[in-house]
Structures are given as structure tokens and as C-alpha cells.
Amino acid sequence: MRLYFKSAIFSAIVVLILSAVLLGVRLAQVGTELTLVGAEDSVLWKVAAASLLIFFYNLFRDPIERVLGLIPKPTLSAGIRDISQRQFVQRIVWCFLIAAALIFPFIGSRSQIDLATLVLIYVMACSTLAMSVSMRSVRTPTPCWPCTLAWAFGPA
């Protein structure tokens, strides 16, 4: 537990800062001016709860992962595993994904496109952060299920 205390504090602070900025502040248009509007109390409580969850998860990481390791995992039948490993099926899936990505901007609304862009930015940022952190460590990284950002700042 003492081994993970610094990383738990750091992870909680990073989650608190990023969540407070991203969820706690928004722009509102009043007439012709833009003003900053703070979040409601419920949002701030959720941000605090999320940072506490990340803190305690990182602090008690080993016992939690041991308990999660005891939970039986579903096993796929050999037929399903075989289908997912076939190159033909993988090519078809990739073709559908690329076609959907090309068609979506023409059939989606403005808010859907903005949301998809924002999600893609966060996914790319988290992936880049996780890769850079995993390259600095010797061990094989195991992603933290609550938050990729908190995992990225975990112990090396």
C-alpha cells in the first residue's frame, strides 16, 4: 500500500483537475457575449467521487486485482474464436467500420459529429499517454479499468 501512495495521490489529483476543467466549466452565450458558467453541485460531487475512486483503486491495486482475478471469465467456444481469427472476417469488419466512418459525417447531425470528434480526441490522447508511459516501464502494463489516465500515471 505504501508503494502506491504517491501514484495514488498523483492519479487522483490529475483526475480531479482534468474532470473539474472538462466537466465543471462551460461556456454560455448571453446576448452577444460568452461567459464562463460553473457546474452545479451534483457535477462537482461526481468529480470528487471519481477522484476518490481512482485514489483508492490505485492505493489498493494489488488486492483489488487479486479479487477481480477470482471472478470467472466467460470462455468463448472454439468456433467463435476461430471466426474472429480469420483474416476474411477481419477484413469484412474493417471494411464496414471504414464505410461507416466515411458515411457518418453525411448522415449525422452537428452535435453527433462534435461528440464523435471529442471522443476521438480523448481516445487518441489517452492512447498516446498510455503508450508513452508503457514505453518508460519495463513491466508489461495492465490497464486500469476505472480510468486510463489514472493508470498512465501509476507506478512504473
pLDDT at 145 over 50: no
Residues 96 and 37 both lie in one domain: no
pLDDT of residue 79: 62
**Which pTM was predicted?**
0.50
Structural domain total, the chain: 2
Higher pLDDT, 128 or 48: 48
Residues 45 and 93 both lie in one domain: no
pLDDT of residue 41: 86
Residues 93 and 148 both lie in one domain: no
| Alpha helices in the chain, H assignment, sequence order | 5-24, 41-59, 61-70, 78-84, 87-107, 110-136, 148-152
pLDDT of residue 27: 76
9 vs 14: CA distance, rounded Å: 9
* Count, residues in the chain: 156
C-alpha cell, 6? 504517491
The pLDDT mean for the chain works out to 77
Residues 96 and 121 both lie in one domain: no
The CA distances from residue 48 to 16, 27, 52, in Å, are: 7, 22, 6
Residues 120 and 51 both lie in one domain: yes
Sign of CA dihedral 53, 59, 60, 61: positive
pLDDT of residue 34: 80
Q: Which domain holds residue 6?
A: 2-73+108-152
Residues 83 and 33 both lie in one domain: no
Residues 133 and 65 both lie in one domain: yes
CB count within 10 Å of CB 150 equals: 24
Residues 120 and 131 both lie in one domain: yes
